[in-house]
Amino acid sequence: TQLLEQSPQFLSIQEGENLTVYCNSSSVFSSLQWYRQEPGEGPVLLVTVVTGGEVKKLKRLTFQFGDARKDSSLHITAAQPGDTGLYLCAGFRAGGTSYGKLTFGQGTILTVHP
């Protein structure tokens, strides 16, 4: 059972279009992170959101954490070919022996065509 469901799995769009990737769960997370991974490399952290309802912006990327801290979204405005990659959400649930244990979604493969 996947704790974090990402959608869509694949996204192929033209340069200049907007897009949104969703990360949903029935579980509450203490914090949620978004990563971007390029072929042949490890994931790179984009942002961490910790407060329900929090919105963070990173240039053309907007990240939102749901009020109940069960879901998150990543919105990209005016996508560019350089945005192409695998986008992963990852949740952290505090308590017990969780320490640094992150639960990752299946990922969204984004392709932006020139």
Partner 1 sequence: DSGVTQTPKHLITATGQRVTLRCSPRSGDLSVYWYQQSLDQGLQFLIQYYNGEERAKGNILERFSAQQFPDLHSELNLSSLELGDSALYFCASSVGQGGSETQYFGPGTRLLVL
Residues within the interface to partner 1 (CB under 8 A): 2, 30-31, 33, 40-45, 48, 50, 88, 90, 92, 94, 97-107
Shortest CB 30 distance to partner 1, Å: 7
- Catalogue the E-assigned strands of 8-84: 10-14, 19-24, 31-37, 44-49, 55-58, 61-65, 71-76
For the CB of residue 107, give the shortest distance to partner 1 in the complex, in Å. 6
Q: Quick one: 102 or 112, whose CB is closer to partner 1?
A: 102
Nearer CB in complex with partner 1: 66/107: 107
Cα distance between residue 88 and residue 14, in whole Å: 21
Q: What's CA 11's distance to the chain center, in Å?
A: 14
Q: Which is nearer to partner 1, 1 or 114 (CB)?
A: 1
- CA torsion 17-79-31-96 (nearest 10°) is 100
CB of 2 vs partner 1, minimal distance in Å:
8
AA identity, residue 17:
E
